Structure 1
Amino acid sequence: MNVIIISDTHMPRMAKQFPEVLEVELRKADLIIHAGDWKTKQVYEELTQFAPVTGVYGNVDESFFYENFQNKIILDLKSHRIGVTHGHGKGKTTEKRAVDHFQDDEVELILFGHSHIPLHKGYEGKIIFNPGSPTDKRKQSHYSFGKLTLQEGQPIHINHIFFEKK
Protein backbone atom coordinates (compact mmCIF):
# COMPACT_ATOMS: atom_id res chain seq x y z
CA MET A 1 0.00 0.00 0.00
CA ASN A 2 1.40 3.36 -1.09
CA VAL A 3 0.32 6.24 1.17
CA ILE A 4 1.17 9.90 0.64
CA ILE A 5 1.26 12.08 3.76
CA ILE A 6 0.88 15.84 3.54
CA SER A 7 0.17 18.66 5.92
CA ASP A 8 0.00 22.43 6.02
CA THR A 9 -0.89 23.01 2.38
CA HIS A 10 -2.51 26.38 3.21
CA MET A 11 -3.96 26.59 -0.29
CA PRO A 12 -4.69 28.74 -2.19
CA ARG A 13 -2.79 31.35 -0.15
CA MET A 14 0.58 29.54 -0.34
CA ALA A 15 0.10 27.87 -3.74
CA LYS A 16 -2.55 27.77 -6.44
CA GLN A 17 -1.84 24.14 -7.31
CA PHE A 18 0.04 21.15 -5.96
CA PRO A 19 3.77 21.07 -6.78
CA GLU A 20 4.57 18.80 -9.73
CA VAL A 21 6.76 16.45 -7.66
CA LEU A 22 3.83 15.93 -5.27
CA GLU A 23 1.36 15.36 -8.11
CA VAL A 24 3.59 12.63 -9.54
CA GLU A 25 3.46 10.78 -6.21
CA LEU A 26 -0.26 11.44 -5.71
CA ARG A 27 -0.97 9.67 -9.02
CA LYS A 28 0.62 6.49 -7.56
CA ALA A 29 -1.13 6.70 -4.17
CA ASP A 30 -3.53 4.13 -2.75
CA LEU A 31 -4.42 6.56 0.04
CA ILE A 32 -3.68 10.20 0.92
CA ILE A 33 -3.47 11.33 4.55
CA HIS A 34 -3.63 15.07 5.28
CA ALA A 35 -2.54 16.13 8.78
CA GLY A 36 -4.46 19.41 8.82
CA ASP A 37 -4.29 23.03 7.68
CA TRP A 38 -5.72 22.16 4.30
CA LYS A 39 -7.32 25.64 4.38
CA THR A 40 -10.11 25.20 1.81
CA LYS A 41 -12.52 22.46 0.78
CA GLN A 42 -11.10 22.76 -2.75
CA VAL A 43 -7.85 21.13 -1.52
CA TYR A 44 -9.82 18.10 -0.30
CA GLU A 45 -11.79 17.91 -3.56
CA GLU A 46 -8.63 18.09 -5.67
CA LEU A 47 -6.92 15.38 -3.63
CA THR A 48 -9.89 13.02 -4.10
CA GLN A 49 -9.17 13.09 -7.85
CA PHE A 50 -5.98 11.09 -7.12
CA ALA A 51 -6.95 8.57 -4.42
CA PRO A 52 -9.12 8.14 -1.33
CA VAL A 53 -8.38 10.87 1.23
CA THR A 54 -8.53 10.94 5.01
CA GLY A 55 -7.11 13.24 7.64
CA VAL A 56 -7.77 15.67 10.43
CA TYR A 57 -8.58 19.34 10.72
CA GLY A 58 -5.99 21.96 11.58
CA ASN A 59 -6.23 25.32 13.26
CA VAL A 60 -6.80 27.46 10.13
CA ASP A 61 -9.24 25.29 8.19
CA GLU A 62 -12.68 26.24 6.86
CA SER A 63 -15.78 25.05 8.70
CA PHE A 64 -16.12 22.15 6.20
CA PHE A 65 -13.19 20.43 7.94
CA TYR A 66 -14.50 20.98 11.48
CA GLU A 67 -17.84 19.54 10.39
CA ASN A 68 -16.46 16.51 8.48
CA PHE A 69 -13.13 15.65 10.12
CA GLN A 70 -11.85 15.11 13.64
CA ASN A 71 -8.94 16.46 15.66
CA LYS A 72 -7.50 12.95 16.02
CA ILE A 73 -7.97 9.67 14.17
CA ILE A 74 -6.51 6.19 14.37
CA LEU A 75 -6.22 4.24 11.13
CA ASP A 76 -5.81 0.47 10.82
CA LEU A 77 -3.88 -0.08 7.59
CA LYS A 78 -2.33 -3.43 6.63
CA SER A 79 -2.26 -4.51 10.31
CA HIS A 80 -0.58 -1.24 11.39
CA ARG A 81 -2.20 1.28 13.76
CA ILE A 82 -1.48 4.86 12.75
CA GLY A 83 -2.46 7.95 14.73
CA VAL A 84 -3.04 11.25 12.95
CA THR A 85 -3.47 14.71 14.51
CA HIS A 86 -2.52 18.23 13.50
CA GLY A 87 -0.63 19.09 16.69
CA HIS A 88 -1.91 22.60 17.35
CA GLY A 89 -2.75 23.82 20.83
CA LYS A 90 -1.26 25.68 23.75
CA GLY A 91 1.74 24.80 25.84
CA LYS A 92 4.42 22.21 25.08
CA THR A 93 5.99 21.71 21.67
CA THR A 94 4.00 20.61 18.62
CA GLU A 95 5.76 17.25 18.76
CA LYS A 96 4.90 16.74 22.45
CA ARG A 97 1.24 17.72 21.91
CA ALA A 98 1.00 15.22 19.04
CA VAL A 99 2.51 12.41 21.10
CA ASP A 100 0.29 13.26 24.08
CA HIS A 101 -2.84 12.90 21.89
CA PHE A 102 -2.06 9.18 21.63
CA GLN A 103 -0.66 8.46 25.10
CA ASP A 104 -3.53 6.08 25.88
CA ASP A 105 -3.68 4.48 22.42
CA GLU A 106 -1.72 1.63 20.94
CA VAL A 107 -0.26 3.05 17.74
CA GLU A 108 2.97 2.33 15.88
CA LEU A 109 3.16 5.61 13.99
CA ILE A 110 2.06 9.14 14.89
CA LEU A 111 1.58 11.59 12.01
CA PHE A 112 1.23 15.30 12.68
CA GLY A 113 1.82 18.72 11.14
CA HIS A 114 1.40 22.32 12.33
CA SER A 115 5.08 23.27 12.72
CA HIS A 116 5.98 22.86 9.01
CA ILE A 117 9.20 21.23 10.27
CA PRO A 118 9.92 17.77 8.82
CA LEU A 119 10.56 15.20 11.54
CA HIS A 120 11.15 11.45 11.52
CA LYS A 121 12.29 9.77 14.69
CA GLY A 122 11.62 7.02 17.17
CA TYR A 123 9.97 7.82 20.48
CA GLU A 124 9.07 5.30 23.17
CA GLY A 125 8.75 2.45 20.68
CA LYS A 126 6.74 4.49 18.17
CA ILE A 127 7.66 6.38 15.04
CA ILE A 128 6.73 10.05 15.04
CA PHE A 129 6.59 11.79 11.69
CA ASN A 130 5.85 15.31 10.50
CA PRO A 131 5.84 15.55 6.68
CA GLY A 132 6.63 19.27 6.67
CA SER A 133 4.81 21.26 4.00
CA PRO A 134 4.77 20.90 0.21
CA THR A 135 3.75 24.55 -0.24
CA ASP A 136 4.99 26.58 2.77
CA LYS A 137 8.48 25.64 3.89
CA ARG A 138 8.84 28.72 6.12
CA LYS A 139 12.45 28.66 7.36
CA GLN A 140 13.16 25.12 6.14
CA SER A 141 15.64 24.57 3.31
CA HIS A 142 13.19 22.45 1.30
CA TYR A 143 9.51 21.78 0.75
CA SER A 144 8.49 18.28 1.77
CA PHE A 145 5.88 15.57 2.17
CA GLY A 146 5.91 11.96 3.28
CA LYS A 147 5.68 8.58 1.61
CA LEU A 148 4.55 5.56 3.61
CA THR A 149 4.77 2.02 2.28
CA LEU A 150 2.80 -0.66 4.11
CA GLN A 151 2.73 -4.40 3.61
CA GLU A 152 0.90 -6.91 5.77
CA GLY A 153 3.29 -8.39 8.32
CA GLN A 154 6.18 -6.11 7.30
CA PRO A 155 7.67 -3.18 9.25
CA ILE A 156 6.51 0.34 8.44
CA HIS A 157 8.63 2.08 5.82
CA ILE A 158 8.28 5.86 5.84
CA ASN A 159 10.43 8.64 4.43
CA HIS A 160 10.39 12.28 3.40
CA ILE A 161 10.46 13.53 -0.15
CA PHE A 162 12.27 16.86 -0.21
CA PHE A 163 12.27 19.30 -3.11
CA GLU A 164 13.37 22.88 -3.76
CA LYS A 165 10.71 24.40 -6.02
CA LYS A 166 6.98 24.31 -5.64
Structure 2
Amino acid sequence: MKLLVLSDTHIPKRSKAYPDRLLEELKQADAILHAGDFLTADAYHELCGYGMVYAVYGNADNEDVKSMLPDKQLLKMNGFTIGLIHGHEGKGRTTEKRALNAFQDQKLDCLIFGHSHIPVHKQEGDLLLFNPGSPTDKRRQPFFSYGILTLEQELRAEHIFFEKGSVKPGC
Protein backbone atom coordinates (compact mmCIF):
# COMPACT_ATOMS: atom_id res chain seq x y z
CA MET A 1 0.00 0.00 0.00
CA LYS A 2 1.40 3.36 -1.07
CA LEU A 3 0.27 6.47 0.83
CA LEU A 4 1.07 10.00 -0.24
CA VAL A 5 1.75 12.18 2.81
CA LEU A 6 1.19 15.94 2.70
CA SER A 7 0.93 18.89 5.02
CA ASP A 8 0.91 22.66 4.88
CA THR A 9 -0.19 23.04 1.28
CA HIS A 10 -1.63 26.53 1.97
CA ILE A 11 -3.58 26.79 -1.30
CA PRO A 12 -4.29 29.41 -2.67
CA LYS A 13 -2.14 31.66 -0.44
CA ARG A 14 1.31 30.09 -1.00
CA SER A 15 0.54 28.52 -4.36
CA LYS A 16 -2.40 28.82 -6.72
CA ALA A 17 -2.30 25.07 -7.40
CA TYR A 18 -0.67 21.82 -6.33
CA PRO A 19 2.75 21.37 -8.02
CA ASP A 20 2.78 19.24 -11.18
CA ARG A 21 5.27 16.81 -9.63
CA LEU A 22 2.86 16.18 -6.77
CA LEU A 23 -0.14 15.77 -9.08
CA GLU A 24 1.67 13.01 -10.98
CA GLU A 25 2.45 11.21 -7.71
CA LEU A 26 -1.18 11.51 -6.54
CA LYS A 27 -2.30 9.41 -9.51
CA GLN A 28 -0.18 6.50 -8.22
CA ALA A 29 -1.18 6.59 -4.54
CA ASP A 30 -3.57 4.16 -2.86
CA ALA A 31 -4.60 6.90 -0.41
CA ILE A 32 -3.62 10.42 0.65
CA LEU A 33 -2.82 11.56 4.18
CA HIS A 34 -2.87 15.32 4.83
CA ALA A 35 -1.72 16.74 8.17
CA GLY A 36 -3.58 20.05 7.90
CA ASP A 37 -3.35 23.60 6.58
CA PHE A 38 -5.18 23.23 3.30
CA LEU A 39 -6.60 26.77 3.85
CA THR A 40 -9.84 26.17 1.90
CA ALA A 41 -12.34 23.38 1.32
CA ASP A 42 -11.63 23.65 -2.42
CA ALA A 43 -8.03 22.55 -1.82
CA TYR A 44 -9.30 19.55 0.17
CA HIS A 45 -11.92 18.62 -2.46
CA GLU A 46 -9.35 18.78 -5.25
CA LEU A 47 -7.28 16.09 -3.49
CA CYS A 48 -10.43 13.97 -3.11
CA GLY A 49 -10.55 13.76 -6.90
CA TYR A 50 -7.37 11.64 -6.77
CA GLY A 51 -8.52 9.07 -4.23
CA MET A 52 -9.35 8.48 -0.59
CA VAL A 53 -8.14 11.35 1.61
CA TYR A 54 -7.55 11.06 5.36
CA ALA A 55 -7.01 14.52 6.76
CA VAL A 56 -7.06 16.78 9.80
CA TYR A 57 -7.38 20.53 10.05
CA GLY A 58 -4.57 22.92 10.87
CA ASN A 59 -4.37 26.36 12.45
CA ALA A 60 -4.50 28.19 9.09
CA ASP A 61 -7.56 26.35 7.79
CA ASN A 62 -10.79 28.31 7.37
CA GLU A 63 -13.99 27.47 9.24
CA ASP A 64 -15.33 25.34 6.37
CA VAL A 65 -12.33 23.03 6.61
CA LYS A 66 -12.45 22.96 10.41
CA SER A 67 -16.11 21.97 10.33
CA MET A 68 -15.41 19.08 7.89
CA LEU A 69 -12.29 17.56 9.45
CA PRO A 70 -11.19 16.40 12.91
CA ASP A 71 -8.20 17.81 14.78
CA LYS A 72 -6.57 14.35 14.84
CA GLN A 73 -7.15 10.87 13.46
CA LEU A 74 -6.14 7.38 14.49
CA LEU A 75 -5.88 5.21 11.37
CA LYS A 76 -5.54 1.43 11.14
CA MET A 77 -4.10 0.52 7.75
CA ASN A 78 -2.55 -2.75 6.56
CA GLY A 79 -1.93 -3.84 10.16
CA PHE A 80 -0.28 -0.55 11.20
CA THR A 81 -1.59 2.17 13.51
CA ILE A 82 -0.97 5.71 12.31
CA GLY A 83 -1.62 8.93 14.20
CA LEU A 84 -2.37 11.99 12.06
CA ILE A 85 -2.34 15.53 13.50
CA HIS A 86 -1.28 19.03 12.51
CA GLY A 87 0.61 19.69 15.76
CA HIS A 88 -0.32 23.28 16.54
CA GLU A 89 -2.45 22.67 19.66
CA GLY A 90 -1.69 21.36 23.10
CA LYS A 91 1.14 21.31 25.59
CA GLY A 92 4.76 21.12 24.56
CA ARG A 93 7.23 23.63 23.24
CA THR A 94 7.85 22.02 19.88
CA THR A 95 5.47 20.79 17.20
CA GLU A 96 6.86 17.29 17.60
CA LYS A 97 6.26 17.29 21.38
CA ARG A 98 2.69 18.58 20.93
CA ALA A 99 2.01 15.84 18.37
CA LEU A 100 3.45 13.18 20.67
CA ASN A 101 1.41 14.45 23.62
CA ALA A 102 -1.81 14.30 21.61
CA PHE A 103 -1.36 10.53 21.16
CA GLN A 104 0.36 9.75 24.45
CA ASP A 105 -2.23 7.10 25.39
CA GLN A 106 -2.11 5.35 22.00
CA LYS A 107 0.25 2.67 20.74
CA LEU A 108 1.32 3.97 17.33
CA ASP A 109 3.58 2.61 14.63
CA CYS A 110 3.81 6.02 12.92
CA LEU A 111 2.99 9.59 13.90
CA ILE A 112 2.47 12.02 11.03
CA PHE A 113 2.40 15.73 11.80
CA GLY A 114 2.88 19.05 10.05
CA HIS A 115 2.75 22.73 11.11
CA SER A 116 6.49 23.48 11.15
CA HIS A 117 7.08 22.94 7.40
CA ILE A 118 10.29 21.15 8.46
CA PRO A 119 10.72 17.61 7.10
CA VAL A 120 11.25 15.06 9.88
CA HIS A 121 12.00 11.36 9.48
CA LYS A 122 13.21 9.67 12.63
CA GLN A 123 12.68 6.58 14.68
CA GLU A 124 12.04 6.71 18.44
CA GLY A 125 11.96 3.12 19.63
CA ASP A 126 9.11 1.43 17.75
CA LEU A 127 7.61 4.76 16.66
CA LEU A 128 8.31 6.45 13.32
CA LEU A 129 7.93 10.24 13.50
CA PHE A 130 7.27 11.80 10.10
CA ASN A 131 6.63 15.37 8.98
CA PRO A 132 6.41 15.62 5.18
CA GLY A 133 7.35 19.31 5.08
CA SER A 134 5.46 21.39 2.51
CA PRO A 135 5.13 21.02 -1.27
CA THR A 136 4.20 24.71 -1.66
CA ASP A 137 5.80 26.69 1.20
CA LYS A 138 9.33 25.57 2.02
CA ARG A 139 10.02 28.60 4.24
CA ARG A 140 13.72 28.37 5.15
CA GLN A 141 14.11 24.80 3.89
CA PRO A 142 16.28 24.20 0.82
CA PHE A 143 13.55 22.24 -1.01
CA PHE A 144 9.81 21.75 -1.22
CA SER A 145 8.78 18.30 0.01
CA TYR A 146 6.13 15.66 0.57
CA GLY A 147 6.29 12.06 1.73
CA ILE A 148 5.56 8.54 0.66
CA LEU A 149 4.62 5.95 3.26
CA THR A 150 4.75 2.32 2.13
CA LEU A 151 2.85 -0.26 4.19
CA GLU A 152 3.93 -3.79 3.38
CA GLN A 153 5.55 -6.31 5.73
CA GLU A 154 7.14 -3.29 7.35
CA LEU A 155 6.41 0.40 7.34
CA ARG A 156 8.75 2.58 5.26
CA ALA A 157 8.76 6.34 4.80
CA GLU A 158 10.68 8.61 2.48
CA HIS A 159 10.71 12.28 1.59
CA ILE A 160 10.52 13.54 -1.95
CA PHE A 161 12.46 16.81 -2.16
CA PHE A 162 12.07 19.04 -5.19
CA GLU A 163 12.51 22.47 -6.67
CA LYS A 164 10.26 23.80 -9.40
CA GLY A 165 10.32 21.18 -12.12
CA SER A 166 12.94 18.91 -10.50
CA VAL A 167 13.01 16.12 -7.96
CA LYS A 168 15.66 15.24 -5.38
CA PRO A 169 15.65 11.64 -4.05
CA GLY A 170 14.49 11.41 -0.42
CA CYS A 171 15.96 9.74 2.61
TM class, shorter-length? over 0.9
Q: Counterpart in 2 of 1:40?
A: 40
Instruction: State the SS of the aligned residue for 1:11.
Output: coil
Tell me which amino acid in the other structure corresponds to 1:46. E
Q: Deviations over 1:37-88 (max 9, x none)?
A: 0100111111011111111000010112221211111100001000000000
Aligned to 1:127: 128
**2:164 maps to which residue?**
165
Counterpart CA distance in 1 for 2:142 and 2:105 is 35
Cα deviation 1:89-142 (Å, max 9, x = unaligned): 364100111111111001100000000000000124200000000000000000
Query: Which structure 1 residue ranges, 4+ long, deviate > 2 Å from structure 2?
Result: none
| TM-score, normalised relative to structure 1 | 0.95
- Matches for 1:1-166 after TM superposition, within 5 Å: 1-89=1-89, 91-151=92-152, 154-165=153-164
Structure 1 residue 157: deviation in Å?
1.0
Partner Cα distance (2:141, 2:119) in 1: 8
| Percentage identity across paired residues of the two chains | 48
Aligned residues: 164
Provide the secondary structure at the position in 1 that maps to 2:101: helix
Q: Which amino acid in 2 is paired with 1:72? A: K
Counterpart amino acid of 1:110?
A: L
Separation (CA, whole Å) in 2 of partners of 1:157 and 1:123: 14
SS in 2 for 1:45: helix
Q: 2 CA distance for matches of 1:124 and 1:62?
A: 36
Contact 2:92 2:101 in 1 (8 A): no
Gaps of 5+ in 2: 166-171
In structure 1, how many angstroms separate the alpha carbons of the residues matched to 2:106 and 2:139?
32
CA RMSD, Structure 1 to Structure 2 (Å)? 1.1
TM-score (norm 2): 0.93
Q: Tell me how far apart the structure 2 counterparts of residues 18 and 38 of structure 1 sit (CA, whole Å).
A: 11
Structure 1, 82-91 or 26-35: larger mean CA deviation = 82-91
